[in-house]
Structure 1
Amino acid sequence: MNIIQSNSIPLDKVIMDISDSLNTKLIQECSEFTLEIPPEWGEGTIKAIDFQNGLGLIRYDCTFKEDLEIRFIVNDVHPLKFLYGLEGEFHHRFENEEELHKIKQYQNAIVASSGNNGHILYFKGNNKTAINSLEVTRFDFREQLKCELKTLEKTLSDLFNDVKAVKSFYFKGYYSLVIAHLFNKILDLGDGDFARRIFLEGIAYNMLGEEILHYQDSLKKDGDGTKGLLSRIEVKLIDEATLVIKNNLGDLGTIEDISKQVGLNANKLQDGFQKVYGKSVNGYVKQERLDLASYLLLNTDKQMGEIVEIIGLNSKSYFSKIFREAYGVSPLQFRKTNFTEKQQRIQKKYEK
């Protein structure tokens, strides 16, 4: 296993140390730094940008040829880190501890070491890994936001105010869809210029605000066992649930069956469909059945009983009832009519 080490703080010195260890050129544009992983080590980039008020951002987007540890070791209080797994997986441990914390895609960790103990990041060889690390120098950050920090939930307030790193802190979860969208915004920004710098700083603060909301949300649950925010992995599982529904309309199980199949509890599944699609799971299933029935009516000569069976219903009269409620005409009348804008949408949906 290869080991490189940074013995510096702040962020600009950190990435200079990494550049020196890799023996590669460091490109600087104002307060933004970029290095390319040399071919003998692997491929990819590491980028860093230092903002005001003790806030900075490092992005690792790389594949190393061999297992690699990056050790952040310096006799000083280390920044509070918000680590986000964007692709692949990596491990984190504190300098004074042996325990490795695995952080997978869509997961995030809030880590703060105690005293002057550092952090170690472990990258597995021949595995593409993308990480965003939002770094907070707590002394500088607190000086600017002393009043606002008083309003935080106690655990977070203590964490941000622990400028001497009396206690270590570790929390792992799945980051929210909002934070995932912020990562995409970072990727969409162009080359370094004044506007990019302002946008990046705004996104960094937005990320921190969303992370605070997400952490506070993780501490509480609604009466039905759900939380207020959807994580990126939960949205992925909800997407999987929609595929289960679409591929099994004719023989669809209960909501509990669907939730077990995708690995998300039924309450969270219901809550997720409401947030993503604006309707319950049953409401989504009903719309899918109506869309498929409409397509079959317009594009096949199947009899009504066949269509009812294909879409997973048992009663022709019930089908006619919900169809009339949705379209204002009976299924047979619908079959005889010309295309409307809604019908064209359905046509395109099933002919992709």
Structure 2
Amino acid sequence: MKPLFIADKKLKFIYKQIQQQIGGEPKDGLNRGMQLKGTHINGHVHGISFSNTISYIKYNVSLKEDLAVKVKSAHPNSSLYFMYCNKGSFLHIKQHGNSYKKIYENQTVVLKAGKAGIRFIIPKNQTNDVTIVKFNPKGYLKKEKQWASNLHDFQPVFKILNENDDFSHYGNCNLKIAEIIEQIDKVKETGVLKNIFMEGQVKLLLAFLIQQYINDLRYDTNSFELSNLEIQKVKRISSDIRQSPEKSYSIKKLTSQYAITPPKLQKGFKLMFEKTVTGYIKNSRLEMAEEMIKKREYTISEIVYKIGFSSKSYFSKIFKEKYGCNPKDYQDNIKKSLKNNINEA
């Protein structure tokens, strides 16, 4: 097992430590990350930080030897680490003793570094894609001059800072977080514009990670636990629905086709999408309808039929609830906007 020790300071310094210990080539002069390529490792690591209160770092690696990572925080009593496993898995080593906790794909973790730091193992022979957001809640609120007005909202987060050194929270799975990370990966802008886009997306990601933690506290997470196999089934079902929302679905058909019980299916969708299966299908159909309206290839009546609804009035009602106006007005607004653009040109 190969060790990697990181003193958690500025990102540029983190990349330099990675380069010195396991090799790699810098990207953009060590401002954006490292390209990792060698006998035992292949992949990349990159990130960005904002005002010393929020840092985002993401690694995607394939290893031929397990990598034991230890992160020593410069501010152990004020920084929290929100981790999310996009792909693969990793093992978190608890600070007292040598017990391990396996973190699966799409699962969240909240950690307080403490004096001993954070230790985790990136396993070999698989692709491991993990996102880490470091957050200083007190520093952030002071910087934003929102200290007094937001104490209540951040109370669950502040409570972690008062916990002992070995605090760790293993959260539930959340696919919405994966979608946000995907959008961060797709940012193509450069320079100042890229920083603006990235800051907005990273703050959105942090908000969802905090909300996931608060939601976990509200419910008995043990009663919602799903096996990794069940999580993969829910992901496949949601993917099939997204690709073909117009099809006729029923709980009975889905549970039979994917060999999952109705309670597990519903709990999976509630955990990962905060929606029931029916609500997810309805939302997917509405998003498909919006795209069809934008393309202006079909009438509203034709769209209603093509997305799997039988009632135009019901479709108009739920469309207005989601987008703030009925489908016809939405279509007219698009036409008006296009006309104005043409005239201005």
**TM, length-normalised to structure 1:** 0.64
Match of 1:322 in 2: none
Question: Comparing 176-185 with 41-50, which one deviates more in the overlay?
Answer: 176-185
Match of 2:140 in 1: 141
Separation in 2 of the partners of 1:58 and 1:108? 15
Q: Deviations for 1:155-208, whole angstroms, at most 9, x for unmatched residues? A: 32322x54xx75442112234333222111112111642211111111111111
SS of alignment partner, residue 35 of structure 1: strand
Q: Report the CA distance shift for 1:66/1:264 in structure 2 as closer, same or farther (over 3 A).
A: farther
SS of alignment partner, residue 218 of structure 2: coil
Match of 1:16 in 2: 16
SS of alignment partner, residue 124 of structure 2: coil
For 1:1-352, what aligned pairs fall within 5 Å after superposition? 1-28=1-28, 32-73=31-72, 76-77=75-76, 79-114=79-114, 116-138=115-137, 140-144=139-143, 145-152=146-153, 154-159=155-160, 162=162, 166-190=164-188, 192-220=190-218, 236=235, 238-239=237-238, 254=252, 258=256, 261-263=259-261, 265=263, 267-268=266-267, 271-278=275-282, 326=310
Q: Report the CA distance shift for 1:240/1:130 in structure 2 as closer, same or farther (over 3 A).
A: closer
8 Å CA contact retained: 1:237, 1:264: no
SS of alignment partner, residue 277 of structure 2: helix
Query: Aligned partner of 1:170: which letter?
Result: S
8 Å CA contact retained: 1:22, 1:41: no
After TM superposition, give the deviation of residue 94 of structure 1 in Å: 4.1
Separation in 2 of the partners of 1:16 and 1:62? 17
8 Å CA contact retained: 1:12, 1:50: no
Separation in 1 of the partners of 2:8 and 2:279? 44
8 Å CA contact retained: 2:44, 2:60: yes
8 Å CA contact retained: 1:174, 1:233: no
SS of alignment partner, residue 135 of structure 1: strand
Separation in 1 of the partners of 2:165 and 2:142? 20
Q: Deviations for 1:35-60, whole angstroms, at most 9, x for unmatched residues? A: 11132232110112111251001110
Unaligned runs of 5+ in 2: 225-230, 284-308, 312-345
Calculate the aligned-residue CA RMSD, in Å: 3.9
Match of 2:333 in 1: none
Separation in 1 of the partners of 2:310 and 2:24? 63
Which one has a bigger Cα radius of gyration? 1
Q: Report the CA distance shift for 1:53/1:253 in structure 2 as closer, same or farther (over 3 A).
A: closer
SS of alignment partner, residue 91 of structure 2: strand
Unaligned runs of 5+ in 1: 227-231, 280-324, 328-352
Separation in 1 of the partners of 2:3 and 2:63? 12
SS of alignment partner, residue 276 of structure 2: helix
Number of aligned residues: 269
8 Å CA contact retained: 2:90, 2:123: yes
8 Å CA contact retained: 2:58, 2:129: yes
Separation in 1 of the partners of 2:48 and 2:61? 17
After TM superposition, give the deviation of residue 91 of structure 1 in Å: 1.1
Query: Aligned partner of 1:212: which letter?
Result: I
Query: Aligned partner of 2:179: which letter?
Result: H
Separation in 2 of the partners of 1:141 and 1:267? 37
Q: Report the CA distance shift for 1:85/1:61 in structure 2 as closer, same or farther (over 3 A).
A: same
Q: Report the CA distance shift for 1:326/1:80 in structure 2 as closer, same or farther (over 3 A).
A: closer
After TM superposition, give the deviation of residue 62 of structure 1 in Å: 0.8
Separation in 2 of the partners of 1:80 and 1:37? 27
SS of alignment partner, residue 235 of structure 2: helix
Structure 1 segments (4+ residues) deviating >4 Å? 232-235, 240-243, 252-260
Query: Aligned partner of 2:40: which letter?
Result: W
8 Å CA contact retained: 2:108, 2:209: no
SS of alignment partner, residue 262 of structure 1: coil
Q: Deviations for 1:57-93, whole angstroms, at most 9, x for unmatched residues? A: 1110111121111211367527311111111111122
Query: Aligned partner of 1:213: which letter?
Result: Q
Q: Report the CA distance shift for 1:198/1:235 in structure 2 as closer, same or farther (over 3 A).
A: farther
Q: Deviations for 1:327-352, whole angstroms, at most 9, x for unmatched residues? A: 9xxxxxxxxxxxxxxxxxxxxxxxxx
Match of 1:349 in 2: none
| Identical-residue share of aligned pairs (%) | 16
8 Å CA contact retained: 1:241, 1:259: no
Separation in 2 of the partners of 1:51 and 1:264? 44
8 Å CA contact retained: 2:137, 2:157: no
Query: Aligned partner of 1:137: which letter?
Result: N
Q: Report the CA distance shift for 1:178/1:75 in structure 2 as closer, same or farther (over 3 A).
A: closer
